[in-house]
Amino acid sequence: MHLSLLLFPAAYYLLAGLGVNLAYHRVLSHRSLRLPRWLERGLITLGLPAGTPIQWAGNHRFHHAHTDTPDDPHSPQHQGFWCAHTGWYLGTHSVALAVLYAFGGPLRTVFDAFWRPRTNQEHDALARDIAADGYYRWLSRPWPYTFVLLALHVAVPAYIAWHFWGVAGLMTFWLTLMVLYNLGDAIDSVAHTFGERLSQAGDQSRNSALMGLLIHGEGWHANHHRVPWSARHGIRPGQFDWTWQVIRLLRAMRLAHNVQVATHADLVDHH
């Protein structure tokens, strides 16, 4: 395989990580830090395959309020593993449909472009602060979201892949999206099933070194549920958090402000 072809999925992997893990999750949903408007909006646009900004934040905040209870929209303990992994996006407990959706790659992106801004809106009221931003409100509407997602995350990368690497490039693009989607989905399923729980945890969130490495620090999921306000998820020594390293760099460049950081004592002093 040509070396340049490997750079394509690597770049997409890193940019997707910043778009979803940094912008959607730590900035928008939890307000763990602040970024300049131009940078925040740019990263959110890179993370669009995750869903609309309003929908994503609303659902995520509801998940934190009802983690691993019957009301949790994606708890593997109550909804089953595959429903928590991907089925909940579709509103189905069908394992066959959930698996098909999980491995859809770019076809899933095309489907989501029409499906995601029109469904799972039940918890949008929890994201009124995000809806107050005109750009996010516009981007969360069905047709703007559909157009931007298809143009930026399907047409442009597919053209680049085909232009430079032909069929091999398109196959790599498919595999890249398939892997990235499933890594992100694994936070809802795997990270609530396998790994180390914190003492006195009231939910099934887990820490996993492998997940922490693969998902840019998001795999320290038990830490995150203990201190969701923290911009740093890998809190204990040895818990590498790539997203946190990016935040540190942005803070040093004076592009990240009001950075909230938990300590090991915050994990232990739980009441």
pLDDT band at 199 (very low <50, low <70, confident <90, very high): confident
pLDDT, position 106: 95
Beta bridge mates, 257:
34
pLDDT, position 44: 98
Residue 3 has pLDDT above 80, yes or no: no
pLDDT band at 266 (very low <50, low <70, confident <90, very high): confident
* Contact between residue 247 and residue 256 where contact means Cβ atoms under 8 Å apart: yes
pLDDT, position 113: 97
- Tell me: the pLDDT tens digits for 90-121? 999 999 999 999 999 999 999 999 999 999 99
Q: Largest alpha-carbon pair distance within the chain? A: 57
- Tell me: the pLDDT tens digits for 207-256? 999 999 999 999 999 999 999 999 999 999 999 999 999 999 999 999 99
Residue 269 has pLDDT above 80, yes or no: no
- Residue 98: C-alpha distances to residues 49, 90, 94, 174 (Å): 17, 8, 6, 18
pLDDT, position 1: 52
CB atoms within 10 A of CB 252: 9
Give how far the C-alpha of residue 120 lies from the chain's centroid of Cα atoms, to the nearest Å.
16
Instruction: Answer positive or negative: Cα dihedral of 183, 141, 125, 259.
Output: positive
Residue 46 has pLDDT above 70, yes or no: yes
Residue 5 has pLDDT above 90, yes or no: no
* Contact between residue 172 and residue 9 where contact means Cβ atoms under 8 Å apart: yes
- Whats the size of the chain, residue-wise? 271
pLDDT, position 70: 95
CB atoms within 10 A of CB 257: 11
On average, the pLDDT of the chain sits at 95
d(CA 213, CA 211): 5
As a whole-number percent, the residues of the chain with pLDDT over 90 amount to 92
Beta bridge mates, 220:
207
* Contact between residue 222 and residue 195 where contact means Cβ atoms under 8 Å apart: yes
CB proximity list for 138: less than 8 A, separation 6 or greater: 144
* Contact between residue 75 and residue 221 where contact means Cβ atoms under 8 Å apart: no
pLDDT, position 7: 87
pLDDT, position 18: 95
d(CA 189, CA 150): 27
pLDDT band at 203 (very low <50, low <70, confident <90, very high): very high
Average pLDDT over residues 259-266: 92
pLDDT, position 270: 57
The single-letter code of the amino acid at 97 is: L
Give how far the C-alpha of residue 75 lies from the chain's centroid of Cα atoms, to the nearest Å.
16
